Amino acid sequence: MKLISIVILFFVLSIGFAQAQVSFVAKASKKTLGINERLRIDFEMNEDGDNFVPPSFNGFNVVGGPNQSVSNSWINGKRTYSKTYSYFLAPKSQGTFTINQATIEIDDQVYKTTPLKISITEAVTKPKDGNNADYVASENVHLIAEVSKTNPFLNEAITVVYKLYVSNDVSITRSWQELDTPKFQDFWSQYIEEKGKQQIYETTYKGKPYRYVILRKAVLYPQKTGQLIIEPLTLDVPIDVEGNNRDIFGRRRMTRVNRTISAGKRIINVKPLPIEGRPDNFSGAVGNFNLSVSTNKTTLDANEALELNIRVKGIGNLKLFKLPSLTLPSSLEVYEPVRDNKVAISSRGMNGFISDTYTIIPQYKGIYPIRPVTFSYFDVTSNEYKTIISDEIVVKVQNGPVPNQLPEVNKKLSKENVLSLANDQFKYIKTSTKFISINSPVFFKTFKFWCLLGFPFVFIPIIILIGNTRRKRLNDIEGRRYRKATRLAKKYLSEAKNNISKQEFFYDSLERALHNYLKAKLAIVTSEFSKEKIIELLSNRKVEENVVSDFESLLKSCEFARYTPTSNVAIQQDYDKAVKVISSIDKQFQ
């Protein structure tokens, strides 16, 4: 009997211990899904914790979350608590992926979830149900990549325009998120910046009236021949679809669904430039160009400089070929050219000019012809090579020495020059002497003597000034408290500052820092946190109303940032406000 009682007691204690254990688990909405489906991951705990760190979600794009939900109830005197962080993911490719561990701190201990294996299959067919919001959204929103030419020549410009088509049956009221950006490998590429506000155009698509916006334009110059792939642009778009339910005014309620849409990859067949008729001096220019060669003067004196400019102007791959070189007589000294260009990018490609400016200095008197410059390019309009030859330029040097002839003065002094060169060999032998008194003082009145003598007169006032400044800082009680509070604020906000370029992680870190600060200053547990409780506690500590209001607005910013995008300027402003608020609270706490 005694043994049975001990067993029962042990069983009851083990049940109580099991109930008191902390649970932190990861749950997936499904373990196998198609590449066109969404996955929900919940990180659930039965005790409140701090410093939640999600996994990196390799192989997925985060299209929603983190959403946070808390459940706290009492049933028959027993408390049931649950807190969940939810993420919505879109797979990037097929295969098997692992959702790694998430971590959280509960009662100063770190807990981790178990990794989850998720299998991504090919796209699944969804039922064509006109009442299904996902189906309606997929049939009424399209992303199209329009390519101006699919079989260009090497280095011929083509334009890619990405358009988002939206039918009148649905609407988009929130901004979309870019999931995948084309890299344009094997192309020279540049986006064309649209001026002004994004315009909405009316059109017809698949026989139905549609609206569309131009998301971006890019000019591409293929750098390889053969089949080249333009990678797709992929967006996550929130779409509002009319539902069957109506509000009290008879209007249909809108259902918002998120769709991942892609423009699809495009294949470009690039043709090589023809070998037949290719000039020897062809350097890869493709387009339609003009050549001009000019000088700022044609008559000058010896050792006087002139500038010669070679300019190619037109439409084509202006930045992708070399300008023709210059051939000059050896008696003309020439310097490296200075490159200048003015090239604009439009839907037709590069448009403008590039030029080289040479500085030329003649050494002798005479007449010097500068040979014509030849430039060749491939004209895509006529599909043939064209060559432009500039006019010959004649430079006249009027005054200066004649080549291969010494001036008369040089003839008279030739013997003296030879003698002078011979004497140069003995220049290192000094012929004059400077005497120094051996009785002169070694240290007195030297530079070192005057430096040491003047040292106290210079540095003693500086030391006195530094001492006075330090005493003022020590006596400034308010300033010391402010500086101490500012250092404390920056300590708590160090993690948020490291993530200032990532909106989601920044606001997550900022909210955690604000909670940890109040947790340390007010000695309260996380489960007691609420906006009303915070306002009451800060007011009781006689914190100014505007500081309490700023603290509350920061918490709201952290909450809204989970659902709405914000700018880098707003993020920096929230960080500066957080430093100011924590500093002010720390100064005013009583």
The phi-psi region of residue 207 (left if phi > 0; otherwise alpha if psi is between -120 and 50; otherwise beta) is left
Tokens of 397: 């040097």
Contact of 370 with 308, CB cutoff 8 Å: yes
Per-residue pLDDT at 193 exceeds 80: yes
Q: What predicted TM-score, i.e. pTM, was given to this entire model?
A: 0.53
Q: What is the pLDDT of residue 22?
A: 84
Tell me the pLDDT tens digit for each residue of 144-165.
999 999 999 999 999 999 999 9
Tokens of 579: 């430093």
Task: Give the pLDDT band of residue 166 (cuts 50, 70, 90).
Answer: very high
Q: What is the pLDDT of residue 350?
A: 94
Tell me the pLDDT tens digit for each residue of 366-381.
899 999 999 999 999 9
How far, rounded to the nearest angstrom, does the alpha carbon of residue 117 sit from its chain's CA centroid?
Answer: 32
Tokens of 525: 């547990």
Q: What is the pLDDT of residue 358?
A: 93
> What DSSP line would sit under 505-546, residue for residue?
HHHHHHHHHHHHHHHHHHT--GGG--HHHHHHHHHHTT--HH
Per-residue pLDDT at 176 exceeds 70: yes
Task: Give the pLDDT band of residue 248 (cuts 50, 70, 90).
Answer: low
Q: What is the pLDDT of residue 62?
A: 82
Most confident of 301-305, 460-464, 508-512: 301-305
Q: How many CB atoms lie within 10 A of CB 457?
A: 8
Tokens of 411: 């003839």
Task: Give the pLDDT band of residue 440 (cuts 50, 70, 90).
Answer: low
Greater model confidence, 17 or 519: 519
Tokens of 18: 């099991």
Per-residue pLDDT at 426 exceeds 60: no
Q: What is the pLDDT of residue 411?
A: 45
Per-residue pLDDT at 564 exceeds 80: no
Q: What is the pLDDT of residue 244?
A: 67
- C-alpha–C-alpha distance, residues 289 and 276, integer Å: 21
| Rounded average pLDDT over 77-95 | 84
Task: Give the pLDDT band of residue 296 (cuts 50, 70, 90).
Answer: very high
Tokens of 152: 């260009």
- C-alpha–C-alpha distance, residues 441 and 445, integer Å: 8
What letter does residue 501 receive in the DSSP assignment? T
- Locate tokens 């064509």: which residue? 128
> What DSSP line would sit under 171-237, residue for residue?
E--S--EEEE----TTEEEEEEPPPSSPP-EEEEETTEEEEEEEEEEEEEEE-SSEEEEEPPPEEEE
| Phi, psi angle pair for 130, to nearest 5° | -65, -15
Q: How many CB atoms lie within 10 A of CB 99?
A: 25
What letter does residue 271 receive in the DSSP assignment? B
C-alpha torsion 105→106→111→113, nearest 10? -100
Q: Which residue, 26, 103, 96, is CA-closest to 60?
A: 96
Per-residue pLDDT at 137 exceeds 70: yes
Task: Give the pLDDT band of residue 90 (cuts 50, 70, 90).
Answer: confident
Q: What is the pLDDT of residue 306?
A: 92
- From first CA to last CA, the distance across the chain in angstroms is 62
Per-residue pLDDT at 352 exceeds 50: yes
Q: Bridge partners of 240? A: 171, 256
Per-residue pLDDT at 439 exceeds 60: no
Most confident of 8-17, 35-44, 478-487: 35-44
How confident is the prediction for the chain on average, in pLDDT?
Answer: 80
Tokens of 159: 């334009």
Q: What is the pLDDT of residue 473?
A: 67
Task: Give the pLDDT band of residue 547 (cuts 50, 70, 90).
Answer: confident
| Phi, psi angle pair for 136, to nearest 5° | -60, -40
> What DSSP line would sit under 110-175, residue for residue?
EEEPPPEEEEEESPPPPP--TT-HHHHHHHHEEEEEEES-SSPBTT--EEEEEEEEEETTEE--S-
Greater model confidence, 484 or 230: 230
| Phi, psi angle pair for 455, to nearest 5° | -55, -50
Greater model confidence, 104 or 558: 104
Q: What is the pLDDT of residue 589?
A: 65
- C-alpha–C-alpha distance, residues 273 and 154, integer Å: 6
* Secondary structure (H, E, C), 398-412: CCCCCCCCCCHHHHH
How far, rounded to the nearest angstrom, does the alpha carbon of residue 320 sit from its chain's CA centroid?
Answer: 25
